[in-house]
Amino acid sequence: AVVSTQSTGADIQGDEDSLHIDKMKQVLTNYKSAQHQERALNQYGGLCDFVEKSLEMYRGELSLVLYPLFVQIYLELVLGNQPTLAREFHEKFGSQQEGREDDVKELETITSKEALLLSVTFSQFRSNKYVVRMCKDSFNCLLSHLQDNSHVLLLNLINLHLFVDVFDGLPKPPSQLALSNSTLMGDGMRSVNQQKMLYGVQHSPAMLNALLDADEYQEEATFSETDPKKKKKKERMILATVKLKDKMKQVLTNYKSAQHQERALNQYGGLCDFVEKSLEMYRGELSLVLYPLFVQIYLELVLGNQPTLAREFHEKFGSQQEGREDDVKELETITSKEALLLSVTFSQY
């Protein structure tokens, strides 16, 4: 499974993914036999019974995997041309998905691959991983049950379609469990709550620290007063942020020299040349960084009070942003911090 922990992380990828996909295809092929059809129902039913009989303190977190597994098993049966078994499975376990009545009703209408592709809700279950956050003890209980009972089908589905985000500490309180059950794709990862998500790829750790505001550490600050280790960690993170911001300000200040002005243009120009001369099979993906970097460099120059260099940079590279002509034209109108704040498009950057 794609499992994230605070101390260690594991992401099964590459060749191992192929092995799991092949295994899943083999399991789905075997659904044609009555034995495997019964096994598919029994494994999920056994998990439901296990969750129901588990300790109350863990039951809430363990139950978080039931709905996404219910959806994935149903979709696997539909895509595996097993409409009868899919209908039986839905009838048996659909009523147990508390708080998901509307989604369960919509899921019942999906009886083919074409219907799945047209579903705004459930097409996401095949292209994205459903996120489940649970404490380490709850996760260990779940894993032990699946392994001890040889629930290969469920283990494969969790590996392929779920992201289990494991944390140290006590299980989540009921308020957080209710929130988890109210979202389409489960919990947001911790990184989603901490990072400023704009467009494209996530920030590098160094740039992320420079952009984080103090209030984004509010969750850690809640416990810092009674936990000296977390307090020190927070202080170190804030100190690193301040130092990096000072470093960025120093770099922006240096733009005033002709040497640094030329370097700003040359670095981006060099990247453009590199992308243009790269192998065709990689060129498309490499080019994805050019537009967001173009925007960020322009905004840094504007916010660094370098209007002349910003204008020159825009004139030189703006025409190279294919498919972004309207955005590039709007970007040119941003010549101050006030104009940036008023821009619906670029204030998000």
Structure confidence at residue 156 (pLDDT): 83
| CA nearest to 314, candidates 256, 265, 277 | 265
Give the pLDDT band of residue 69 (cuts 50, 70, 90).
very high
Quick check: 40 pLDDT over 90?
no
The answer on pLDDT for 82 being more than 50 is yes
Would you state the pLDDT for residue 6? 46
* Paired residues of 163 in beta bridges: 2, 131
Model confidence over 91-123: pLDDT tens digits? 999 999 988 898 999 999 999 989 998 888 888
Share of the chain above pLDDT 90, in %: 23
Average pLDDT of the residues of the chain: 76
Residue type, 109: T
**pLDDT at residue 244 in the model:** 56
- State the average pLDDT over residues 319-330: 90
Q: pLDDT by residue (tens digit) across 181-233? A: 666 777 765 544 444 444 444 444 544 454 444 344 444 444 444 566 666 66
Taking residues 155-168, report their average pLDDT. Answer: 88
Task: Report the SS3 class of residue 164.
Answer: strand
Q: What is the pLDDT of residue 227?
A: 65
Confidence of residue 51 (pLDDT cuts 50, 70, 90): very high
β-pairing verdict for 130-135 and 9-10: unpaired
Residue 25 CA, distance from chain mean position: 26
Rounded CA-CA distance 155/292 in Å is 39
Give the residue from 51, 61, 9 showing the smallest Cα distance to 169: 61
* Residue pLDDT, tens place only, 231-274: 666 666 666 656 655 655 565 555 455 556 567 777 888 899 89
Distance between CA atoms of residues 2 and 144, nearest Å: 17
Q: What is the pLDDT of residue 344?
A: 77
pLDDT of residue 182: 64
pLDDT tops 80 at residue 18? no
What's the DSSP call for residue 187? Answer: P
